Structure 1
Amino acid sequence: MSNKKKQKNHYEQEKAVRRKQRQIVVISTALVIILLVAIIGIVLKTQQSSQPNENQNNQSSQETPSINYKEQPIMGSTDAPVKLVEFGDYRCPYCKEFDEKIVPKIKKDFIDNGKVSFTFINYTILGKGSQLAANAAEMIYHQYPDSFWDFHKALYAAQGDEKKEWVTKDLLTSIAKKTVPSLDEKNYKQTLDDLSYQNNVIQDYNLAKSMKVKVVPSLFIDGKLVNNPLDYHIVKEAINNALKQGNE
């Protein structure tokens, strides 16, 4: 074989080897890229599944805990399209102001015509007297529901100095005797002695906590907190907005 042919064959062999090497490099690079993309995809998917997205967080934070209205006193129609809920404390002077100045206006403008229902829930944050008063109110509601709102109003009317412990069993008994015609006084006094409805009071307290209630009175209209419940213009506007939303 001539030298030229040998050189040509050698050149062709080297060329074939280099071509195979390039193919191997290209294939290897492609495999590495595919592997990296797969790894990155797995990592991102894992992070997304382990960390709730912002929309999910916002939705969960906006959800309002369910209120069992059958276990709470309601003023007005249970079928009213808009529901108002007040968290209050019988020892709170601002709650008394709300009950005496704001509630009558709500009743006249919205409750009496069936547009709104009003629910009162105890949030006992002002000491033992608050819990005793709440127990008395719970007892009246569960055993004498038709007399509850009369007792409720009379208890606020009898409110004493917030700095003093004015809630006593004698006072609560006196109010009950005036507002509940068929009162079983002996049973009522025993209920106060035993704090028989303390579990109900605790349930209401926990409900208020779960709804992030910080002050009393706190007013919710269809689950939305009203900024200043002692300003009737604000309350009225919020109720009208809720009614409009219900009609849309």
Structure 2
Amino acid sequence: MSKNKKPAPKNGKPQGAKKNTGGAARPQGTPRPQNQNTAASQWTSGSKRKKSNLGVIALGFVGLIVVLAVLIFVLTKVGENQTTSSAEPVILTSYDASNQPTLGDPDSNVQIVEFGDYKCPDCKIWTETVLPELQTKYLDTNEASFQFADYPFLADDSMLLALGGQALYEQNPEYFWAYNKAVYANQDTSKVRESWVTEDYIVNLVKENVPDADIEKFTNDLKNKTYQAAVDADVKAGDDSKITGTPSIFVNGTKVENPTLENVEAAIEAAKAS
């Protein structure tokens, strides 16, 4: 819009024209306009400029509407693509189920896999509340199997705890589950991101909760990181499966979003019916 537009005359007369009262004479000394049509031509010119400016404004307004329409269309398409992408299921990838701690029938048609970190408070809650319900209903009846995979990422000592579990599993699979329970029972939720777990702490934990384990072998395996490759394989499977946190629960290779008991059971029943 032009900023140089002259103000429109009031009451249909050129600006500056004096009102004719009918009897008052023009004061002496006041010059008479050189051209009687000058005021009218100024008014006509002003009207044309006004119409021209209104046309520019209207054209700009239409252009703005077009731009907004295009922008809305583009944003809508982007939103649709994001929704479609987020709705795509997360699939378990590069996972080797042949050498993992397992509950239930490993040959079952329904396979549940948890990726967990022993320092994860949500993993503790899930293991102590959801897993026992699943075990009673599906694992003890051999309708499904459950496997634990390591995904240590919260702190450096998460890896140490994972190595301890793997070392006990290699000794005896039953030892692993006693260790799993003991670690979560002694989890310090105030130190999730702090590295406070030591080799001595884990060895003492095993002595107290897995008394039949070969402590000397366990201590050496933990110190020498004997089963690092097995833990690394779990981590790679988690990364390849694009998990973003723990616990991440998969049923027959598909991740269960928000893995509450109800949601996991629904996924299990769907897998059983397929």
Q: Same fold (TM over 0.5)?
A: yes
Contact 1:159 1:166 in 2 (8 A): no
Match of 2:262 in 1: 233
SS in 1 for 2:145: strand
Match of 1:100 in 2: 128
User: Counterparts of 1:129 and 1:185 in 2: how far apart (Å)?
Assistant: 20
User: Counterparts of 1:208 and 1:62 in 2: how far apart (Å)?
Assistant: 11
Contact 1:134 1:201 in 2 (8 A): yes
Deviations 1:119-144 (A, max 9, x none): 00000111211100000000000112
**Unpaired stretches in structure 2, ≥5 consecutive residues:** 1-88
* Deviation (angstroms), 1:66: 4.6
Task: Please say if 1:177 is aligned against 2:207.
Answer: yes
SS in 2 for 1:87: strand
> Which amino acid is the alignment partner of residue 198 of structure 1?
Q
RMSD of aligned alpha carbons: 1.7
Task: Please say if 1:243 is aligned against 2:252.
Answer: no
Match of 2:236 in 1: 206
> Which amino acid is the alignment partner of residue 101 of structure 2?
P
> Which amino acid is the alignment partner of residue 195 of structure 1?
K
* Deviation (angstroms), 1:155: 0.8
Contact 1:147 1:179 in 2 (8 A): no
TM-score by length of 2: 0.64
Contact 1:87 1:120 in 2 (8 A): yes
Correspondence 1:117-156 to 2 at 5 A: 117-156=145-184
Higher Cα radius of gyration: 2
SS in 2 for 1:213: coil
User: Counterparts of 1:123 and 1:63 in 2: how far apart (Å)?
Assistant: 16
* Deviation (angstroms), 1:62: 7.6
SS in 1 for 2:163: helix
User: Counterparts of 1:196 and 1:104 in 2: how far apart (Å)?
Assistant: 31
Match of 2:19 in 1: none
Give the 3 Å change call, closer, same or farther, for CA 227–63 of structure 1 in structure 2. closer
Match of 1:165 in 2: 195
User: Counterparts of 2:156 and 2:235 in 1: how far apart (Å)?
Assistant: 13
Which of residues 189, 200, 222 is equivalent to 1:192? 222
> Which amino acid is the alignment partner of residue 85 of structure 1?
V
Give the 3 Å change call, closer, same or farther, for CA 192–103 of structure 1 in structure 2. same
Deviations 1:94-146 (A, max 9, x none): 01111001100100111111111000000011121110000000000011212
- Name the one with the larger helix percent: 1
> Which amino acid is the alignment partner of residue 131 of structure 2?
V
User: Counterparts of 2:107 and 2:220 in 1: how far apart (Å)?
Assistant: 35
Deviations 1:71-92 (A, max 9, x none): 1111111121100000000010
Give the 3 Å change call, closer, same or farther, for CA 166–62 of structure 1 in structure 2. closer
Deviations 1:144-166 (A, max 9, x none): 21211111111111111314323
Task: Please say if 1:217 is aligned against 2:250.
Answer: no
Query: Sequence identity of aligned pairs in percent?
Result: 34
> Which amino acid is the alignment partner of residue 198 of structure 2?
T
**Unpaired stretches in structure 1, ≥5 consecutive residues:** 1-60
SS in 1 for 2:113: strand
